[in-house]
Structure 1
Amino acid sequence: MGFWILSALVVGLILSAIIGADITARKNRKQPKIERIGEVVDKRVNWTEGSSSKTFYITCEFENNERKEISVSDDKYGLFVVGDKIKVTSQGTWNWTERIIT
């Protein structure tokens, strides 16, 4: 009896995570895409001690002096250098970054 309750709980948690992710994606798709040009002013890695999990961030500053910290993949993190010009495209909670080569 306990096995079935535990199984139902696990399935329920998985389904709620999938449904929550789908709701967030739908909301993001309805938002307008906003493209801005900025400059990389800082980089950092968030690493939890005792874990192999790392999250990579760049901080960019836009023309209006607004700063925004953006999570990037580890392969993109190595491409950005402080001082680089970048294009940041935002749509809801999603962010895409692209290095501008001049």
Structure 2
Amino acid sequence: MTHLLEKNTPFIFSEDCIQAFQTLKKKLTKAPILIALNWDLPFELMCDASDFAIGAVLGKRHEKHFKPIHYASKTMNDAETNYTTIEKEMLAVVYAFTGE
């Protein structure tokens, strides 16, 4: 969706987009999406990178299911998009711990 920030980019919201939005809205409004912090369970951190963005999810495993506590993501700047795949993955890890 970040491509929509570019000048003169048309915004096309098709029937598929409407259905996807409705599904997402349903899933995000059913409780609980995020869980409260439980210091007795170990934390898990998941990080990932694509060609243009990085993200991380902090959570805990409860009864074999991963429960998210916090999400973080950002788009890469021009220099970061030139990183190798491994550098992008490590950038996601650094971002998860520092927020930068």
Query: Does TM-score exceed 0.5, indicating one fold?
Result: no
- Higher CA-based Rg: 1
TM-score, normalization: structure 1? 0.37
Counting strand residues as a fraction of each chain, which structure ranks higher?
1
Q: Which has the higher contact order (CA 8 A, sep 6+)?
A: 1
